[in-house]
Structure formats: C-alpha cells, structure tokens
Amino acid sequence: MDYEIIIAGGGMVGAALAGLLGQAGKKVAVLEATTPRTFVVSDPFDNRVSALSRASQRLLEQAGAWPEVLALRAAPYENMQVWDATGAGLIRFEAAELGEPDLGHIVENRVLQLALLATLTRYPSVDLLCPARLADFELSPQQITVKLADGRRLTAQLLIGADGAQSGVRRLAALPYEVLDYGQKAVVATVYTALPHEATAWQRFLPSGPVAFLPLPHPQACSVVWTLAADQADAVLLWSAERFNRELAQALDFRLGELISSEGRAAFPLRGLHAQSYLHERVALIGDAAHTIHPLAGQGVNLGFKDAHVLAELILANQTADLGSLRLLRRYERARRGDNELTQKLMEGFSLLFSNTLPPWQWLRNTGLSTVNQLPPLKYQLARRAMGL
Ligand SMILES: Cc1cc2nc3c(=O)[nH]c(=O)nc-3n(C[C@H](O)[C@H](O)[C@H](O)COP(=O)(O)OP(=O)(O)OC[C@H]3O[C@@H](n4cnc5c(N)ncnc54)[C@H](O)[C@@H]3O)c2cc1C
C-alpha cells in the first residue's frame, strides 16, 4: 500500500490531523485541491478568520504548527463582551480574572492553513499533494484506492474526508446528512475603527442577528461577522462604503466609534449540516465534511480540531489494527457525535433566543446575561468551557 492514511482536504482541519499523525511517523498523504495564496507580512487582512480556543491552540502546538502561526500573524484576545440590543443585558469575560494571558486567538484562515501545510514539510512520512483533487475511490477488502482528477491512483487503509461542507468524500460514500438552512447570511469584512479594540472580542445581539467585531493584530483593525436575513445581507453587499461603514458602526452601537474604512465585504450563506453517519468502510469524515454549525460563537473549526484530535489518538493507540475497520472507526464517531450535535443545537437555540422580539424572551435573555455576569463562579466555569479547558 502507498500510505496508511489518505486525507482528502488540506484545509485547517485536514492539515491539523496530518500534523498530529505526521509527528508520530504515520505514512500519510494529504490531497489539497487548491494551492493557497502565499503570505507576505504586508498583505491586507483576509476577511475569513477563526476565533481559536485554548484547546485548539494546544492541538496546534501538538501538531507542531503553533510557532509558525504566531510567526505569521495572530491576535490574542484578552476580553470578550456580549450584550443585547433590546435591553441592559451584558456579560463580560476578562482573561486576567481567570488568571490566563488571553481567552484565545483570532487567526486568518489562510494563515492557519499555510502554517499547518508548512509544518507538514518537516515530517518525512507525510506527502502533501497540492494541487490534487480526489475524484473517486474504490474499495476492496484490504484497501481503498483513491483516484485523483489528474488520473493518479493511491492506495491506503483509510480515507479521511476533511474536504469541507460540500464534501465529495461524503457524496461518493453515499453518507446521508441533514441540512437546515438558517435563512441567514454572514456578511464579513475587515474594518478600521476610530477607537482601539482593546484586545476585546465585541458581540452585540440584534433582532436581525448578532454582529461581532473580532480584534486583529492592529489596534484599530477588526474582522467583522454580521449575521442578517439572507435578503438583507444581499442588499448590504450593494451599499456604498459610506453607508456600510455608518450602519455597521451603528449596529455595534458605536462601541468602537465610527468606522474609518472597510474592505473585503462578502457574504456566506449559513446552514447547519450533520452527516447521519460519519463512517463508511475505510472512510471517515471530520470537520465541516461531517458537521457545520451557526458561527455565532465561533466554534466550527474548534469542533473540527476536536474530531482530528480524537481520531489521531485512536489511530496512534491502535498501531497494529486495520485502520479502515468500522469496528475501530465507530469509537471515533461515538466519541464525537454527541458534542458536535449538542453544540449545533445550542447555537441554533441561542440564535432563536436572541432574535426573538417578544417581551418575555427579551426579558429572559437580558436578565440571564446580567445575572450570569454577576455570578463569577458560574461565569468563569462557562468561560473555561468555551476555552476548552
Ligand atoms: C462567516 C463564518 C465565520 C466563522 N467563524 C468561525 C470562528 O470564528 N471560529 C471557528 O471555530 N469557526 C468559524 N467558522 C467555521 C469554520 O470556518 C469552518 O468550520 C472551517 O473552515 C472548517 O474547516 P475544514 O478544514 O473542515 O473545511 P474547509 O475549511 O472547507 O477546508 C476543506 C478543504 O478541502 C479542500 N477540498 C475540497 N474538496 C476537495 C477534493 N475533492 N480533493 C482535495 N481537496 C479538496 C478545499 O480546497 C479546502 O481547502 C466560521 C464560518 C463562517 C461561515
């Protein structure tokens, strides 16, 4: 066999899994369809970023990629403030009160992917094939043969689908999935604000959906995720820069003052997806290929990293087993499905609770936020949980 494991998709989650397996000497091929744009320090900030939890940072350290992430570009955030537009409800988390240096890091997705892919070149047992697109696969009792779009064929014991929400591996394995269109889109952009962000992640819940300003490594630059009904989001994309800057500053209640400028405006449809099974003979799904969630608490890639962690541990603890056997892979699915499902449903629940304009619900969420804010033990238990500690 050419490899023990083939990973289709060298995005953040697939590359992290390859790093975890590669530093343990596993023979792995990573297939990535698109060559990521190289990074230079003078590049403007990308509009796609992720809020990484402490648990994700640890996983990236374990995969050997964290120093590379910091060497490229990342912003630690020390505080988080969440409040409701319809009342006085507010909750604020501060790393200092937890005795931690920060609550997490904001990293551009491309930077994270590049750091991970660069790390893989240090592991002699890992081959990164890029560009290389998985087109099909074929099963036989002992192995799986992966066919690439350029005609190459590779064999392995196990194929991992880390190829994102539109997963080709999921489709080829005929794994059924449930999908819920939230009827919303996330408008993203990079903005420069009149006031400094103070290393704080700011999030305000409006009846139309939450708006988040995530701090970037410049005192006045933030990455924005503004959730709106799909048709509203489409209209926002057509606004002049002046109107966009004015209305977005207002959506955050001018907490960071007026917007000086904005760039990279784009919108992404929001859907919740969950594969009914993550497994097929010699095939397993991880990350967005298995599940996507509402981005309101920035947990999507953090969940994917947890999948990668569990699967890597399982593979490394079973060195002599057939890695493609369903018996082994079921332990991965059992360990991850519950957490992924619970997080997905929680995000959907929060989204409904915070967009409800009926007075009892407004009272409930405002009282809830303020009450938890005044109960430090509960508040910090929640914060530690969100950080994955
Ligand atoms: C607006 C928005 C904001 C978000 N913010 C956050 C946040 O703050 N924190 C957070 O944790 N999550 C966030 N998320 C979610 C996060 O972006 C995703 O969970 C994450 O990108 C999933 O990573 P992945 O590696 O599983 O998939 P992807 O990032 O989709 O990567 C899949 C990779 O597979 C490759 N590929 C696809 N098909 C093939 C093929 N046939 N052969 C070879 N390669 C292939 C693709 O080129 C791609 O590189 C957000 C999502 C949205 C929409």
Q: What pairing do the DSSP bridges indicate for beta strands 104-108 and 144-148? A: unpaired
pLDDT tens digits for range 172-194:
999 999 999 999 999 999 999 99
Place of tokens 């606004």: 239
Residue 189 sits at φ, ψ, to 5 deg, of: -170, 160
pLDDT for residue 357: 85
Residue 37 has pLDDT above 90, yes or no: yes
To test ligand 1's pocket by mutation, which of 12, 103, 223, 299 has the most ligand atoms within 8 angstroms of CB?
Answer: 12
User: pLDDT class for 360, splitting at 50, 70, 90?
Assistant: confident
The beta strand positions in 149-207, using DSSP E, are 153-156, 158-161, 177-193, 200-206
pLDDT for the residue 334: 98
Residue 212 has pLDDT above 90, yes or no: yes
Task: Provide the 3-class DSSP secondary structure of residue 144.
Answer: strand
pLDDT digits (tens, 9 = 90+) for 219-252: 999 999 999 999 999 999 999 999 999 999 999 9
Report the first-to-last Cα separation within the chain, whole angstroms.
39
Confidence of residue 216 (pLDDT cuts 50, 70, 90): very high
Ligand 1 centroid distance, CA of 287 (Å): 8
CA quadruple 237, 242, 245, 249: dihedral sign? negative
CA atoms of 325 and 304, how far apart (whole Å)? 22
Cα dihedral: 159, 344, 385, 351 (round 10): 150
To the nearest whole percent, how much of the chain has pLDDT over 90?
Answer: 91
The closest of 276, 387, 378 to 333, measured between CA atoms, is 276
Q: What is the DSSP letter of 132?
A: -
**Residue 245 parent element (H or E):** helix 241-251
List all residues whose CB is within 6 A of at least one atom of ligand 1: 8-14, 31-34, 50-51, 133-134, 162-164, 168, 186, 188, 225, 268, 287-288, 295, 298-302, 304
Domain ranges of the chain: 5-73+108-179+272-350, 77-104+183-270+357-386
| Residue 269 scores a pLDDT above 90 | yes
Query: Is residue 364 predicted with pLDDT exceeding 90?
Result: no
Specify the pLDDT at position 1: 82
Phi, psi of 105 (to 5 degrees): -130, 145
pLDDT in tens, 126-179: 999 999 999 999 999 999 999 999 999 999 999 999 999 999 999 999 999 999
pLDDT average, residue stretch 9-37: 98
Residue 386 is predicted with a pLDDT of 86
Task: Quote the crossing angle between the two packed helices 326-355 and 359-373, to the nearest 10°.
Answer: 110
Q: Do 46 and 108 meet the contact criterion of CB atoms below 8 Å apart?
A: yes
Residues 6+ apart with CB under 8 A from 111: 39, 46, 69, 72, 73, 74
Name the residue at shortest CA distance from atom 52 of ligand 1. 295
Please answer whether residues 267 and 283 qualify as being in contact, where contact means their C-beta atoms are separated by less than 8 angstroms.
Answer: no
pLDDT tens column, 319-335: 999 999 999 999 999 99
Share of the chain above pLDDT 70, in %: 100
Condensed to tens digits (0 to 9), the pLDDT of residues 62-117 reads: 999 999 999 999 999 999 999 999 989 999 999 999 999 999 999 999 999 999 99
43 has a pLDDT exceeding 90: yes
The yes-or-no verdict on residue 385 having pLDDT over 90 is no
Looking at residue 361, its pLDDT comes to 87
8 CA closest ligand 1 atom index:
43
Residue 389 has pLDDT above 90, yes or no: no
- pLDDT at position 388 is 84
CA-to-CA separations, 90 to 34, 205, 222, 239, 241, in angstroms, rounded: 42, 10, 21, 30, 30
More confidently predicted of 113 and 363:
113
The Cβ of residue 87 has, within 10 Å, a number of other Cβ atoms equal to 15
Reference 338, options 303, 294, 309; nearest CA is: 303
Q: What is the pLDDT of residues 296-313, one digit of tens each?
A: 989 999 999 999 999 999
Quote the ligand 1 centre to 365 CA distance (angstroms): 31
> Which atom of ligand 1 is least distant from the CA of 132?
43
Cβ atoms of residues 249 and 213 within 8 Å: no
How does residue 356 score in pLDDT terms, banded at 50, 70 and 90? confident
User: 308 C-alpha vs ligand 1 centroid, how far in Å?
Assistant: 14
Question: Two tokens at 214?
Answer: 């995530």
| Cα–Cα dist 214/202, whole Å | 7
Nearest alpha carbon to residue 270 among 244, 296, 247, 248: 296
- Among 128, 203, 288, 293, say which to mutate for ligand 1: greatest number of ligand atoms within 8 Å of CB: 288
Identical fold, 5-73+108-179+272-350 and 77-104+183-270+357-386: no
Average pLDDT, the chain: 96
Structure-token pair, residue 315: 């593979």
Query: Residue holding tokens 């409040």?
Result: 83
Q: Quick one: CATH architecture of 5-73+108-179+272-350? A: 3-Layer(bba) Sandwich (3.50)
Q: Cα dist. 240→184, 222, 223, 243 in Å?
A: 21, 19, 19, 5
Instruction: Tell me the pLDDT band of 14, cut-offs 50, 70 and 90.
Output: very high
What letters, b where the CB count within 10 A reaches 16 and e where it falls short, cover 146-180? bebeeeeebbbbbbbbbbbbebbbbebbebebeee
> 378 C-alpha vs ligand 1 centroid, how far in Å?
32
Please tell me the distance between residue 12's alpha carbon and the centre of ligand 1 in angstroms: 7
Superfamily (CATH) of domain 77-104+183-270+357-386: D-Amino Acid Oxidase, subunit A, domain 2 (3.30.9.10)
